[in-house]
Amino acid sequence: MHLEDELERLLNICRSSPSFTLRQLFAETAPEDQAIITFLLSLPFLLPLPLPGLSIPFGVVIFFAGLRMFLGKSFWLPPKMADKELPSELALKVFSKAKPLARHFSKWVKPRGRFFSRHPGNKRFSFFLICCCGFLLLLPLPPGTNAPPAFTVAALSLGVLEEDGLYLVVGYISFFLISLLFLSLAFWGYPQVIRWLGY
C-alpha cells in the first residue's frame, strides 16, 4: 500500500479536467482495500480548510465505503452521487494540503497486535464505526464537529490496512469520546458545549 502514490493518482485525475466525478476517482476495489478511500477522504476534514461542495460528497463516500466493507462487498455509490460533477480546483487544493498529513499518519503505523487486528469480529466492528463516522461527516453539523469523526476514520482505516492493533484501539477510544461529544450536543446544544470546552 502506498498512500502517497494513491493520493498522487487522485491529484492527476483532478488535474486532467476542470471537474471530476466520484466514479472517476474510485473504481471497483476489493472490500478491505476501500479503507484506502476512507483514509484519504478523512484527511481533508482534519485540515483548516473550508470544503464547500466537497464535505457532503466525501462524507457520503466514507459512509458507503464503511457500509460496503462491513457487508464484505466491493465499492458502490448511488449513480446520482457517483456521476455528480465536482470542482477540480478545490479538490486539487484539498488533496495537495492532505499529502503531508498522510505522510505524518503513515510514518508511525506498522503491524502490531496482529491477532487483534486480524480478528474478523474486530474488522467488522471497525468497518461499522467507519460507516457511523461517515454518517456524522455528511450531516450539516456546526463548525469544529467534523475533525473528531474524521480522525476516528483515519485511525481505523490505517489500523485495518496495516494490521495495526494500536491504531484500532486509538480509533475505538476516539469513537467512544465522539459519542459522548455528540450526545452532549444533542442534549445541551452547541453553544453550551462550546462554553464548557472554554471557547
31: pLDDT confidence band, cut at 50, 70 and 90? Answer: low
Residue 30 or residue 148, greater confidence: 148
Is the pLDDT assigned to residue 198 strictly greater than 60?
Answer: no
The DSSP letter of residue 76 is -
- List pLDDT tens digits, range 76-102: 888 888 888 888 887 888 788 887 877
pLDDT computed for residue 189 by the predictor? 62
Beta bridge partners of 21: 85
3-state SS class at 50 = coil
| 97 grid coordinates | 494540503
In angstroms, how far apart are the furthest CA atoms of the chain? 47
Over residues 57-79, mean pLDDT: 89
How far apart are the C-alpha atoms of 84 and 103, rounded to whole Å?
Answer: 29
- List pLDDT tens digits, range 98-124: 878 777 777 778 888 888 888 889 999
In 25-96 the beta strands, taken as DSSP E runs, fall at: 85-87
Specify the pairing of strand 85-87 against strand 19-21.
antiparallel
pTM summary value: 0.82
Is the pLDDT assigned to residue 66 strictly greater than 70?
Answer: yes
- Chain Cα centroid distance, residue 167: 14
